Amino acid sequence: VNATVTTLRVQLCYITGFMVLFSVVLAFIIAKRVGAPIKQINESAKELARGHYDTVFTGGGYREISELSDTLNYTANELSKVEELRRELIANISHDLRTPLTLISGYAEAMRDLPDEMSVENAQIIVDETQRLTTLVNDALDISKLQAGVVELHTARYNLTASLRATVLRMPVSYTHLRAHET
């Protein structure tokens, strides 16, 4: 009986050692298999954080990892759209700010260089364009405040016709007016 118990004890130690070793190897293999897609998603997320919005997240194997990669792909796509809109906004703001500055500069130079151009109308155009420039800068600041969540957006009706009319009336000399003076 003692010999059988000793044999069983030795066999139990061998089996336990083998099972522990097998469990460690199996855990290592599973960790590598589960960890590899997570590691890849992590690297792609770092690329996204650096501003590379064309980054593609590939997750495979497990449903949770696949859902995470789909969510991150959607996020990257939306961030790409936001970045494009931001670039367009900056380009539009730059263009819109340049227009009144050009008019102010042109009228001020004309008033400085040509004595007959020193008129109330020309001075008023400079004042109007300065006010327009101030409005544009204030609008850009308001956009910043909206994005930061400092202010809430309140919608209102906008009269596009009146705005276009005011823009056309601000133009110094129309083409037809020039043609009338040429003849």
Q: 48-60 pLDDT, tens per residue?
A: 888 888 888 887 7
Query: What is the pLDDT confidence band of residue 133, given thresholds at 50, 70 and 90?
Result: confident
Is the pLDDT at 169 greater than 70? The verdict is yes
| Tally of CB atoms within 10 A around 56 | 11
At how many degrees (to 10) do helices 63-113 and 2-49 cross? 20
pTM of the model: 0.54
All residues at 6 or more sequence positions from 54 whose CB lies less than 8 Å from its CB, including other chains: 76, 80
Say which residues have a Cβ less than 8 Å from residue 145's Cβ, sequence separation at least 6: 151
pLDDT at 172: 64
Q: 117 and 164 in contact (C-beta within 8 Å)?
A: no
Give me the amino acid identity at 115: P
What is the rounded distance in angstroms from the CA atom of residue 81 to the CA atom of residue 15? 59
Asked whether the beta carbons of 107 and 85 are under 8 A apart, the reply is no
Task: Decide if pLDDT at 161 tops 60.
Answer: yes
Q: For residue range 5-50, what is the model confidence (pLDDT) as tens digits?
A: 999 999 999 999 999 999 999 999 988 888 888 888 888 889 888 8
State percent of the chain over pLDDT 70.
Answer: 92
Which of 24-33, 79-88, 149-158, 170-179 shows the lowest mean pLDDT across its residues? Answer: 170-179
Q: Please tell me the predicted confidence (pLDDT) of residue 173.
A: 57
Give phi and psi for 111, each to the nearest 5: -65, -35
